[in-house]
Every structure is written in C-alpha cells, then in structure tokens.
C-alpha cells in the first residue's frame, strides 16, 4: 500500500502541502496567542475551515502535529542563532548568540516549552527523533566554541562538552524566566543571566579577564 504518489501527486484545489502548512501556521498561532492548552484538533479545524480529519490525513493525529511544530520551532531557533554574525571576537559572538537564543524563546514562550518536552500539550511526550531535530542548533553552539578555541581565546577542550555547559546555563535561565520563577530576584537579566554566562566563559578562557566583570550587555 505504498502509494507512489507522495510529495506532489496528491490533492486537488488547494494542494496537500498547502493545507498542511496552513494547519501548522494556525496551530502555531493558537499556541503563541492563547497558550498550549488552547490548542485542540476541533478548534484548529474550525479555524482552518476544515474538519478534524485534516489533522489525521496530514499528521496522523495531534501528537504528529505537535512533532511537526517542534521540528519547525527548532529549525527557526537554528536559523536565529545562525544569523548571529561571526566577528573576530569569539567571546562576544557567544554573548550575541545567547541573546539571540533568549530572544527567540521570549518571542514564542509556549512553543519553547513544548519543544523542550515540558508543557506536554495534551498527552504524548516527545520521542527520540523529535529531540534529535534540535541537534542542528546544538552543532551551531559547538562551532562557536571551536572558533573560540582556534582563536586562542578559549582553552582547548571537548567542544561538545563546553557547548553543553553553555547551553545548560542558558536553558536554565530561559526556563526559569518563562515560568516566572526567576522573579525571586530583582533585575534577573543583569544579576543572573549575564553574570552567570560571564562566570562560565571566564572559567573557559585561557587568560581569565578582570575578576570583577563589567556586566556585559547584548
């Protein structure tokens, strides 16, 4: 039953891929505007002017639609971080990448929570293959670290390990910020995020800078 047709062949009036894309966009909009619990197959179908069956023909069900949203979310995160310009100051590039990463999460907070397995969005959890789509974004960070080492700014180390440490700190702040737990302190961006990233980077540098860091911005 392997319908050869596949990518182009099927469909009528509005092509199959168009309906699929339309459903994804509307679903993302609903999550962004009204939060993850507001997304349902029925409301989505109503907003798209179709029936719930469209979700099943294109995504196999709500979990499939969520997986497609997650993949798209990671693709955009990757784009966003990849758009950070590469300068001759690898450390500043890392700071800019952190700012871009955080800005992306803030622009679509509920999608970020869905991407990282929280906010289960109904029932089904993410599978292994849903997680590896985030690898591109992680590779991006590894390359920043490798550039820092090649430029002699960072000590030689396993780029994956160092990138994971950087990502862990950043993800921790983003999550605490999105869930509002970071409000236990005032002015968290200047007292927590940038000092934390600065402390980490300084420990990774070959020649740690001045012990009292000027809080760097952006």
Partner DNA sequence: GTCCCATCCATAACGCCGTTATGTTCGGAC
Partner DNA sequence: GTCCGAACATAACGGCGTTATGGATGGGAC
Choose between 24 and 81: whose C-beta lies nearer to DNA: 24
**Could you say whether residue 19 binds DNA (CB under 7 A)?**
yes
Choose between 23 and 133: whose C-beta lies nearer to DNA: 23
- With CB under 7 A as the rule, give the number of residues binding DNA: 35
- Which residues from 196-215 bind a second copy, rule CB under 8 A? 196, 198-200, 202-204, 208, 211
Direct distance between the N- and C-terminal alpha carbons of the chain, in angstroms, rounded to an integer: 54
Q: Which of 30, 58, 104, 141 binds DNA (CB under 7 A)?
A: 58
Choose between 13 and 210: whose C-beta lies nearer to DNA: 13
Closest CA to 28 of 100, 106, 109: 109
Choose between 55 and 115: whose C-beta lies nearer to a second copy: 115
Q: Measure Cα distances from 31 to 25, 145, 153 in Å.
A: 10, 33, 41
**Residue-wise over 169-199: b if at least 16 C-beta within 10 A, else e?**
bbbebbbbbbeeebeeeeebeeebbbeebbe
**Could you say whether residue 16 binds DNA (CB under 7 A)?**
yes
Structure tokens of 149?
């080492």
Choose between 3 and 214: whose C-beta lies nearer to DNA: 3
Q: Which of 37, 60, 61, 152 binds a second copy (CB under 8 A)?
A: 37
HEC per residue, 38-66: HCCHHHHHHHHCCCCHHHHHHHCCHHHHH
Residues near 102 by beta carbon (within 8 Å), at least 6 away in sequence: 170, 173, 174, 177, 193
Give min distance, CB of 26 to DNA, in A.
13
DSSP 8-state assignment for residue 31? H
Residues near 24 by beta carbon (within 8 Å), at least 6 away in sequence: 65, 68, 69, 72
Give min distance, CB of 130 to DNA, in A.
15
- Which residues from 145-184 bind a second copy, rule CB under 8 A? 155, 158, 160-161, 164-165, 167-173, 175-176, 178-184
Q: Interface residues with a second copy (CB under 8 A)? A: 35-37, 113, 116-120, 122-123, 125-126, 128, 131, 134-135, 138, 155, 158, 160-161, 164-165, 167-173, 175-176, 178-185, 188, 191-193, 195-196, 198-200, 202-204, 208, 211
């Amino acid at each position: 039953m392997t319908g050869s047709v596949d990518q182009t062949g099927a469909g009528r009036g509005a092509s199959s891929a168009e309906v699929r894309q339309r459903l994804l966009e509307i679903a993302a909009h609903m999550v962004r505007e009204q939060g993850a619990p507001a997304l349902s197959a029925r409301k989505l179908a109503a907003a798209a002017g179709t029936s719930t069956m469209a979700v099943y023909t294109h995504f196999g069900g709500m979990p499939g639609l969520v997986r497609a949203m997650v993949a798209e979310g990671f693709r955009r995160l990757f784009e966003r971080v990849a758009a950070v310009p590469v300068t001759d100051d690898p450390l500043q590039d890392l700071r800019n990448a952190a700012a871009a990463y955080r800005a992306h999460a803030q622009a679509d907070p509920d999608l970020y929570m869905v991407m990282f397995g929280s906010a289960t969005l109904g029932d089904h959890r993410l599978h292994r293959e849903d997680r590896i789509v985030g690898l591109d974004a992680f590779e991006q960070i590894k390359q920043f670290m490798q550039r820092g080492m090649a430029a002699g700014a960072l000590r030689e180390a396993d780029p994956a390990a160092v990138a994971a440490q950087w990502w862990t700190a950043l993800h921790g702040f983003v999550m605490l910020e999105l869930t509002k737990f970071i409000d236990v302190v005032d002015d968290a961006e200047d007292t927590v995020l940038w000092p934390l990233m600065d402390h980490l980077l300084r420990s990774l540098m070959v020649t740690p800078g001045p012990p009292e860091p000027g809080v760097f911005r952006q």
